[in-house]
Amino acid sequence: MGASTNNPVIRGDSSVLWGANGVYNGTGSGIVQTGSDELTGEKMEVQDELGQTVAVIFFDDKHNLEFEAIIKTSAPTIARGDGITICGVAYALVESVTKLWENKNVQKYRVKATKYSAIASTP
């Protein structure tokens, strides 16, 4: 038998991602279990004189991002307003950090952040 590796074997579409490596780029030691990226924003519907929608204007795009991670150390050093990278989206502003559970020196956290299209990085 050959040596065991931690690399998955992917057949077919080799652009698919497996695992959670790279979902959250930050400091600390932990295991990301889930990550999501929802593209949303504002919209305005324009009606004609009969009240029928004839145009829709999409603006103020933003990414609502979230990840859950098991942290092997003390509480993460993520604060509201911090700019972090989640799911490959850079400079998302942290909105909340929720501690889901703790067992001895291991905790599970949920982090929610928003990336606004018009806000780059800190000056």
Tell me what the mean pLDDT of segment 8-23 comes to. Answer: 50
Residue 116 has pLDDT above 70, yes or no: yes
63: domain range? 32-116
The answer to whether 109 and 94 have CB atoms below 8 angstroms apart is no
Q: What is the mean pLDDT of residues 105-123?
A: 85
Residue 57 lies in a domain: yes
Q: What is the pLDDT of residue 17?
A: 45
**Mean pLDDT throughout 112-116?**
94
Whether 56 is covered by a domain: the verdict is: yes
Q: Is residue 6 predicted with pLDDT exceeding 60? A: no
Whose CA is closest to 74, among 94, 99, 43? Answer: 99
Within a domain: residue 18? no
How is 73-104 classified by DSSP, letter by letter? SSS----TT-EEEETTEEEEEEEEEEEEEEET
Q: How far is CA 61 from CA 39, 71, 88, in A?
A: 7, 31, 16
Q: Is 4 within the bounds of a domain?
A: no
Distance CA 67, CA 35 (A): 4
Q: Is residue 123 part of a domain?
A: no
- Asked if residue 103 belongs to a domain, the reply is yes
Q: Could you tell me if residue 105 is inside a domain?
A: yes
Give the total number of structural domains in the chain. Answer: 1
pLDDT digits over 21-76, tens only?
444 545 455 677 888 999 999 999 999 999 999 999 999 999 999 988 887 766 66
Handedness of CA 49, 53, 58, 63 (dihedral sign): positive
Q: Summarize pLDDT for 71-108 with one digit per residue, the tens.
A: 776 666 788 998 888 777 888 999 999 989 888 878 88
Instruction: Return the pLDDT at 87.
Output: 75
At 6, is the secondary structure helix, strand, or coil?
coil
Within-domain flag for 13: no
Global pTM exceeds 0.75:
no
What's the token pair of residue 69? 């991670």
